[in-house]
Amino acid sequence: MPVSDHELIEAWKEVLTLSKLEQGQTVTVLTSMSTHPQTLSTAILAARAMGAVVNRLDLPPVNGEKSLSRDSLAYLGTTPLTGNRAAIAALKESDLVLDLMTLLFSPEQHEILKSGTRILLAVEPPEVLARMVPSKADQSRVKAAAEKLGAAREMHVTSEAGTDVRFRLGQYPAISEYGFVDEPGRWDHWPSGFVLTWANEGGSSGTIVLDRGDILLPMKSYVQDRITFTIADGYVREIAGGLDADILRDYMASYNDPEAYAMSHIGWGLQPRARWSTLGMYDREATIGMDARAFEGNFLFSFGPNNEAGGSRTTACHIDIPMRNCTVALDGSEVVRRGQVLDTARERNAHA
């Protein structure tokens, strides 16, 4: 059902309060042709009501002639900020940037964050934003999981479908995504609620088997037939299966980049308000699939870049794959068992 402007304004106020927006701070709303008008108007109203100085920076889209999808995460690298020093300067002078455009996996974003500017991405439909307003409980749970992940030196993932893959850890930090930006230089995404890291370079090996009902992004499709990935030395070496595997192979080959086959981030979902089943409820062009990325108990892995973690791989191809019913162990200790999170902080906040 549609969300009223009042409800979305209140949601924005809650998120902005969690993000420590103060009266007199400068907020820049970053927009493009794909920005949802209700999300934009309510964000501006909420920030102004809280006493912020609000600007809007609207930039033209890029990569449309290269990408096979309208999804903003389907082709990475060059952004509307590439070479745009005036726009970068404006964002660096802001206390908080509300990214309603999708600025990810780019050196410009890192430059802006290093200035102390906080960046909050929010591009899902208003109904999704309102359903998954973040909370302090989300933050506590995700940060506790990140502490475990950051201390681990191996992740071992298995499933009854045949997954048996190991990732050596420690080269890259554990990252918490809980939906608000409460520290200088922090980036986050509303909605979210998961923990992730990147395996050591060359440190991934084994077999990953996607079962029926696992999800391919940015295709935004449920897997119908099993897909088997053979992983060695940090790269997928073989993709076997039926039609779904054929589609994925063709899509990845279109980038003509061997780095597209590198293992990217790995982690698990911790958001109880995100649902595996919602992918078919929204138009494919209206969502980037954050329910799929964040639903509680998923194992989420990806192929493609690692520059968000400080690595040097910047391939334009990025594929996220949330899986159900996996067991995830850190140094031999299970944190997820057959799709159920094993933690002692199963808080359910007021929005559950």
Give how far Cα 241 sits from Cα of 55, 90, 169, 211, 258, Å: 50, 48, 29, 11, 21
Assess contact for 226 and 216: CB atoms under 8 A. no
Q: Give 33: exposed, middle or buried? Use CB within 10 Å, 0-12, 13-18, 19+.
A: exposed
Least confident of 13-17, 58-62, 298-302: 58-62
Instruction: Provide the CATH number for the domain formed by 5-130 in this structure.
Output: 3.40.50.2300
Residue 243 dihedral angles phi and psi, to the nearest 5°? -60, -45
Paired tokens of 38: 């209700």
pLDDT on residue 351: 39
Domain boundaries, the chain: 5-130, 134-341
pLDDT score of 71 more than 90 = no
Average pLDDT over residues 52-57: 98
Q: What is the overall mean pLDDT for the chain?
A: 93
> How many CB atoms sit inside 10 A of residue 215's CB?
24
Cis, peptide link before residue 191, omega less than 30° from 0: yes
Cα separation of 43 and 158, whole Å? 42
Percentage of the chain exceeding pLDDT 90 = 80
Banded pLDDT at 106 (limits 50, 70, 90): confident
Residue (of 155, 105, 110, 126) closest to 300 by Cα position:
155
Least confident of 96-100, 154-158, 217-221, 310-314: 310-314
Percentage of the chain exceeding pLDDT 70 = 93
Give the pLDDT confidence of 145-169 residue by residue, as tens digits.
Answer: 999 999 999 999 999 999 999 999 9
Give me the residue label for tokens 């699939």: 289
Q: Which residues contact 88 (CB under 8 A, 6 or more apart)?
A: 81, 108, 111, 112
Average pLDDT over residues 304-311: 81
Cα separation of 133 and 127, whole Å? 10
Give the pLDDT confidence of 162-216 residue by residue, as tens digits.
Answer: 999 999 999 999 999 999 999 999 999 999 999 999 999 999 999 999 999 999 9
37-49 vs 5-18: helix crossing angle, rounded to 10? 60
Paired tokens of 210: 């996607």
Predicted TM-score (pTM) of this structure: 0.93
pLDDT on residue 143: 98
